[in-house]
Structure 1
Amino acid sequence: MSEPVPVSRAELLELSGGDPWARWALPDPLAGAALVVADVALVERGGPRPGLWVAPLRPGLPAGAVPEGPALTAEAARVATALRLVREGLFPAARPGASISAPAEHAGTARAVLPLSEEGGDWDWMWTEAAPPPESRERLLVELDDRADAEELRAFAHAHNPRVWTRIGEGEVVRWVGVRDVAGGLVAVGGAEREASGAPHLAGILTAVPARGQGWGRVVSSALTREALREHGVCTLGMFRDNDRARRLYRGLGYRTARRWFSRRLAGS
């Protein structure tokens, strides 16, 4: 497609060859405008982090695969074409401060076309439909409440993670589990939010610094993943790309990467 064409989520799924991100991250119906131009989807994102997804459609490639060589260069040109429409005001929601999520492999193109700030991050979107085996220590997990335990959860997150991203105490996390030591202090926590599609999305997986390397992140993640699969048949998550330890953990639980995102806010007044 060379001219902007409005699309539905079902049409996006067909055009993308059933891309897991389009299936499990996007709502049906879509919350805002969605166009395909030059085989690149531009999809408005609502919710607490509004903005725009910029997703090349790759129906001939396995989920997570990136074209190489001349094919990647040609795709970059198509991404630039789509982003110029954003710059020219085609999407009123793409105003200063809105988040733009473009493929990590086209970060340079996004910077060249759009005025972007440095606020944001580089992260991977992952999913699984395969249940990991139970961990014996899951019997030690306790339930926590997003609102009633918000103060404790926030303090724990800020003490042990310099990049707190999860929205604690706002009702976004629908389930928390954790592990406590003999004195009652938190050792590890993890939560599950909802994607815009309704699919479970792991969030806030965190182990206290002194307890790292003991496998508590796997215990928490395994339990939450299996519960999500029992109820919905899928579980998703997002992780900072530079967190190699987390990547090994999630891959060991059966997660695969579908999209690698470069997310920044539009600059301007």
Structure 2
Amino acid sequence: MDRLTSHAELLSLSGDDPWVRWALPDPLQGEVWVHDSVALVQRLGPRPGFWVAPLRGRGPTTAEATRVRTALSELRQGGHLRRLGARAVSVPQEHAEVAHDVLDLGDGGDWDWMWTTSQPPVDAGGRDVIPLDDRRDAAELERFTREHNPRVWTEIGTGRVHHWVGVRGPDGGLVAVGGAEREATGVPHLAGIVTATQHRGAGLATVVSAALTRWALAGHGACTLGMFSDNAAARSVYARLGFRTARAWHSRMLAFGDGSASGHG
């Protein structure tokens, strides 16, 4: 495996991949390796591990699955998972079977990393969007998101979401909310987009997402998000707003039985 330290080199090898450009910081953090045109990018934070990203500067090839298998084997057999305290890996969804064959993987999820640099159309409903505060409104945001989307991963009240907006109904209660975190690059990353169950289908998710996207583009020129891959309704909303999928990830925790990661919970 070849060690990389240059973000510019990784971006070039990837063919200007939006995920590399907007999600990975410059300078690179942690360890980054390339093996047979597959990048192995150390992921820091609360779920340390690796992104396994084929570099598609020339587009996918028929041998990609084989190259992913070899890269994962190098990662495991070289002791890098144990050495760096890895607890999880994310691989392209189309190579999930390969990953499970090479590594002992546990629970996780399938999700899309999406991006846009295009301004969404202005919606008249945008004038109903109001600012919310991550700390002042934390209790209300927490109740609302847990009630209407139990799968939400967003941290509320910690400062991680630095920009919240919402829409209130006639009774003053929230009917839709959304926020923005920051990628390691500083680019806004949409999070916690939730519509009240009884108000779904009214376009409120589009209104909130569009307002956040316009705000993100005005300040940074790009906006990203992550969505569960099985959420067809969300996919439709984001497609209308100009978002495209750059990476469809299969993210899984390393099982305790994996010898390469034993001892890391």
TM-score range, shorter chain: over 0.9
Choose which of 184, 201, 207 in structure 2 pairs with 1:196: 184
With structure 2 as the length reference, what TM-score do the two structures score?
0.93
Query: What does residue 90 of structure 1 align with?
Result: 80
Deviation at 1:123, TM superposition (A): 0.4
Question: Do the aligned partners of 1:7 and 1:34 also contact (CA within 8 Å) in 2?
Answer: yes
Moved over 4 A (4+): none
Choose which of 169, 172, 192 in structure 1 pairs with 2:160: 172
Identity %: 60
Question: Do the aligned partners of 1:101 and 1:263 also contact (CA within 8 Å) in 2?
Answer: yes
Query: What does residue 13 of structure 2 align with?
Result: 15
Tell me, in whole angstroms, the C-alpha distance in 2 between the residues paired with 1:138 and 1:226: 11
SS in 1 for 2:27: coil
Tell me, in whole angstroms, the C-alpha distance in 2 between the residues paired with 1:164 and 1:231: 26
Tell me, in whole angstroms, the C-alpha distance in 1 between the residues paired with 2:204 and 2:47: 29
With structure 1 as the length reference, what TM-score do the two structures score?
0.92
Which segments of 5 or more consecutive residues in structure 1 lack a partner in the other structure?
62-66
Tell me, in whole angstroms, the C-alpha distance in 2 between the residues paired with 1:186 and 1:93: 43
Query: What does residue 91 of structure 2 align with?
Result: 102
Q: Deviations over 1:69-123 (max 9, x none)?
A: xx33x1111111111122121242243xx221110000001100111112x1100
Q: Deviations over 1:34-60 (max 9, x none)?
A: 010011000111234332110000002
SS in 2 for 1:80: helix
Deviation at 1:5, TM superposition (A): 3.3
1:27 corresponds to 2:30? no
Query: What does residue 253 of structure 1 align with?
Result: 241
1:50 corresponds to 2:41? no
Query: What does residue 64 of structure 1 align with?
Result: none
Q: Deviations over 1:147-167 (max 9, x none)?
A: 121111111111011212111
Choose which of 103, 116, 121 in structure 2 pairs with 1:114: 103
Tell me, in whole angstroms, the C-alpha distance in 2 between the residues paired with 1:142 and 1:5: 46
Q: Deviations over 1:191-228 (max 9, x none)?
A: 01100111110000010000000000000000100111
Q: 1:203 to 1:148 in 2, by over 3 A?
A: same
Q: 1:178 is matched by which residue type in structure 2?
A: G
Coordinate RMSD, CA, aligned: 1.2
Query: What does residue 140 of structure 1 align with?
Result: 128
Deviation at 1:141, TM superposition (A): 1.2
SS in 2 for 1:197: coil
Deviation at 1:4, TM superposition (A): 2.9
